[in-house]
């Protein structure tokens, strides 16, 4: 089972969630063992998507370097790239964030569909989880444990009549992702909008790219795409955050009130002890065949 990249360069334009202005994005093929590289065309700086480059997880997952150059809100795009099994790709931006699209990852999936995928010469690596790893903050936690069929089991609980407690288990594969997760949008509360905009955040947020709730209901005229769209989006985010590991992960992820911060801490905790995982090269045909549908 070989590493992959995209067949051709593909371009797009969309509004930035925080910048509130049009942002150009291009996805480009990269060679084997390159990983996922973000390139800030406006300042001529490349930053690799990996845990050590994460500099902020307060409102989104942000990567950056020591010179103050950063790229924010990368999790939706990484979620699509991860779920499409793409190992090597360059993301070219002319601003400090990708476009928010419609608040989900389906727009990025459409770009990847148009670009196509191709195999490279080297075999794919996957990270096989060997023992349970967990991180906690109060009553919130995320964990991952050994599994032969990766799943995401997520629980959220909000004191809001539309959300309440939602639990969803997702069996990971590209096709399941497109059907069950990719269209789930980010969400926020109207009461928080003014505070965010006072910090020059969420300037591009609107009913076109987020589910917005007031104290009693949903403001979006079209309502929800799924009855439990909120917890599905949390899984979308988690898949993107774990993509920073640089390879597919074979393990079961569980979260209660998880966050970008906890997801990042989980990646660091996994990497902190070599006994937690094994890097397996998919040169073994039987092994590769078993997981080809999952990590295609």
Judged by average pLDDT, the poorest of 28-42, 74-88, 179-193, 256-270 is: 179-193
- Please tell me the distance from the alpha carbon of residue 102 to that of residue 212, in angstroms, as a whole number: 13
Query: Does the pTM of the predicted model rise above 0.85?
Result: yes
76 known member of a binding site: yes
Burial environment of residue 66 by CB neighbours within 10 A (0 to 12, 13 to 18, 19 or more): exposed
Q: Which tens digit of pLDDT belongs to each residue from 110-126? A: 999 999 999 999 999 99
- Domains in the chain, start-ordered, CATH in brackets? 2-124 (3.30.230.20), 126-283 (3.30.1700.10)
* Cβ atoms of residues 236 and 181 within 8 Å: yes
What is residue 190's predicted lDDT score, i.e. its pLDDT?
85
What is residue 191's predicted lDDT score, i.e. its pLDDT?
83
Q: Considering the chain, what is the average pLDDT of its residues?
A: 94
Strand pairing partners for 280? 126
Query: For residue 163, which phi and psi values (nearest 5 degrees)?
Result: -95, -65
* Cβ atoms of residues 229 and 187 within 8 Å: yes
Is 18 a known active-site residue? Answer: no
Mean pLDDT of 56-85: 96
Mean pLDDT of 143-170: 96
Question: In sequence order, what are the residues at sequence separation of 6 or more whose Cβ sits closer than 8 angstroms to the Cβ of residue 194?
Answer: none
Given the residues 18, 160, 260, 264, the one annotated as active site = 260
Please name which of 125, 52, 114, 40 lies closest in space to residue 87, comparing C-alpha atoms.
Answer: 125
Q: Is the pLDDT of residue 94 over 70?
A: yes
Q: Which tens digit of pLDDT belongs to each residue from 100-111? A: 999 999 999 999
Which is more confident, 142 or 293?
142
What is residue 216's predicted lDDT score, i.e. its pLDDT?
92
- Please tell me the distance from the alpha carbon of residue 14 to that of residue 10, in angstroms, as a whole number: 14
With cut-offs at 50, 70 and 90, classify the pLDDT of residue 286.
Answer: low
What is residue 13's predicted lDDT score, i.e. its pLDDT?
96
- Please tell me the distance from the alpha carbon of residue 36 to that of residue 41, in angstroms, as a whole number: 16
Instruction: Find the distance separating the first CA and the last CA of the chain, reported in whole Å.
Output: 9
Q: Is the pLDDT of residue 201 over 70?
A: no
């Amino acid at each position: 089972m070989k590493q992959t990249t995209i067949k051709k360069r593909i371009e797009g334009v969309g509004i930035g969630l925080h910048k509130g202005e049009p942002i150009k994005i291009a996805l480009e093929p990269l060679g084997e063992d390159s990983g996922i590289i973000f390139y800030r065309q406006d300042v001529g700086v490349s930053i690799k998507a990996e845990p050590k480059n994460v500099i902020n997880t307060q409102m989104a997952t942000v990567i950056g370097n020591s010179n103050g150059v950063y790229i924010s809100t990368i999790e939706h795009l990484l979620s699509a790239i991860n779920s499409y099994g793409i190992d090597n790709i360059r993301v070219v931006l002319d601003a400090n964030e990708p476009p928010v699209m419609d608040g989900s990852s389906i727009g990025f999936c459409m770009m990847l569909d148009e670009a196509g995928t191709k195999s490279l010469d080297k075999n794919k690596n996957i990270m096989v989880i060997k023992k349970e790893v967990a991180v906690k903050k109060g009553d919130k936690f995320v964990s991952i444990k050994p599994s032969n069929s990766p799943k995401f089991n997520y629980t959220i609980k909000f004191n809001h009549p539309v959300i309440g407690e939602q639990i969803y288990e997702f069996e990971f594969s590209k096709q399941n992702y497109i059907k069950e997760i990719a269209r789930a949008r980010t969400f926020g509360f109207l009461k928080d909008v003014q505070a965010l905009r006072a910090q020059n955040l969420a300037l591009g947020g609107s009913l076109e790219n987020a589910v917005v709730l007031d104290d009693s209901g949903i403001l979006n005229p079209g309502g929800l795409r799924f009855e439990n769209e909120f917890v599905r989006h949390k899984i979308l985010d988690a898949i993107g955050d774990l993509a920073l590991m640089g390879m597919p992960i074979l393990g079961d992820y569980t979260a209660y009130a998880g966050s970008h911060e906890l997801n990042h801490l989980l990646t660091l905790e996994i990497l902190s002890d070599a006994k937690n995982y094994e890097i397996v090269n998919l040169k073994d045909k039987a092994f590769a065949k078993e997981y080809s549908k999952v990590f295609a």
